[in-house]
Amino acid sequence: MKWQPLHVPQRTIMTPGPVEADPRVLRAMTTNIVGQFDPSFTTMMNEVMDMLRELFQTTNQWAFPIDGTSRSGNEAVLASIIERGDTVLVPVYGRFGHLLVEIAERYGANVVTIDCEWGEVFDEQVVIDAIAAHKPKIVALVHGETSTGRLQPLAQIGRYCRGNDVLLVVDAVASIGGVDVRVDDWCIDACIGGTQKCLSIPAGMAPITFNERIERVVLQRKKVERGIATADDAQYAGNVAIASNYFDLAMLMDYWSPRRLNHHTEATTMLYALREGVRVTLEETLPVRFGRHAYHAEALEQGLQAMGLSLFGERAHKLTCVTCVHIPENIDGDAVRAFMLEQFGVEIASSFGPLHGKIWRIGTMGYSCRKENVLAVLSALEASLIYAGATIHRGEALQAALHFYAATKEETRCSSLIQSSGMDK
């Protein structure tokens, strides 16, 4: 027989995405298919919208997924609100800020960037000063930058944007479900999440939410496809259409509203996965989940430092669920990664651009954020470095992590982290 049945090796995935899918999500994906306008399915669509509001900590009417990987959510939002010549300010502190620039430029925006060193984040006042100077229509920035493992503060920027009629669009792909993302409290106008990171769902959907400020801009450009338009839709005939058909939020709003106007065939199985992944997240509760991510990241850091490795980046603004570590001098980082995968079935990531070959990125995200995974990655990395001839502290990494776990129970540590963050209020 020419083609054999599918065989995928078992891996311990400790990258910043994708991560291991939660088994409950995989089980949900085996559910039988129903039509996209079956009442059972439209009921599920409404449930998903309610769940996403809780996940994003918002009262926005609009909260639904874009069918596509995470960048589809970024593109849908930016394509729908950018009109040619609009000024868009993008603060860039890593690879995915550059992605926002790329998308905005392709839709005809006049993009202004400000930059800081990779491994750092912006002082919020620096961004506010740039907004005051350039007076953009839109500020687009990344909350959790996985290329550098940093977390950008947003609250002051959001309040300034709201007070000065600037739209704030936030890429929270890496942070949603893993660290605190407060859409309403931080005055975020549109927020984009991802499935394949802290939510432990396969890649293929991008949950988004946006408020009435975004909605007003989108509706000014509303069009309805000729093949399904009704006489009532003639009122939109004079509007300048959103450049993308697939990423047209106005049409997607009609699809996700009680009108259920057909736009695309919904990715049924992925919606099952999204519903289950978000349900599991909310069942754990957001404060406990955020605490769990911080707890296991701390154990990982203790082990890496005990091994003699140095952590990368500004400590005060570390993205909890991504730990970046310097590759030891004279060590081929890609060769070590390949050895870990081949010999131990453990995967970690390199980085991009100026950081490629200089740091490794280790994710502790979602279902991958477990004690056994932390111990597995430390063991595999230590053995691989010894094999590569690196000078490290042998036998110390696992002991440091084990001592951390023995001395600090997860429930106790998570509780203290929750209280210190104010999430218990």
Distance CA 215, CA 221 (A): 10
Structure tokens at 149: 């493992």
Beta-bridge partner residues of 311: 325
Distance CA 359, CA 324 (A): 6
Distance CA 177, CA 188 (A): 17
pLDDT at 116: 97
Residue 127 CB partners (closer than 8 Å, separation 6+): 89, 91, 114, 139, 141, 157
The predicted-structure confidence for 31-80, as pLDDT tens digits, reads as follows 999 999 999 999 999 999 999 999 999 999 999 999 999 999 999 999 99
Q: Where are the domains of the chain?
A: 22-281, 286-421
pLDDT at 414: 61
Rounded to 5 degrees, what are φ and ψ at 326?
Answer: -65, 135
Helix-helix angle 286-306:396-407, to 10 degrees: 150
Give the burial string for 384-420 (b: 16+ CB within 10 Å, else e): bbeebebebeeebbbebbbebbeebeeeebbeebbee
Residue 1 has pLDDT above 90, yes or no: no
Rounded to 5 degrees, what are φ and ψ at 84?
Answer: -50, 130
Contact status, residue 157 vs residue 326, Cβ threshold 8 Å: no
Rounded to whole angstroms, what are the CA distances from 239 to 223, 230, 248, 262, 326? 7, 16, 13, 20, 52
The predicted-structure confidence for 186-233, as pLDDT tens digits, reads as follows 999 999 999 999 999 999 999 999 999 999 999 999 999 999 999 999
Give the CATH H-level superfamily of domain 286-421: Aspartate Aminotransferase, domain 1 (3.90.1150.10)
Pick the CATH number of 22-281 from 1.10.20.60, 3.30.2270.10, 3.40.640.10, 1.10.3720.10: 3.40.640.10
Reported as a pLDDT band with limits 50, 70 and 90, residue 416 is low
User: Comparing 22-281 with 286-421, is the CATH topology the same?
Assistant: no
Distance CA 267, CA 260 (A): 15
Number of helices (H) and strands (E), helices first, in the chain? 14, 13
pTM of the model: 0.95
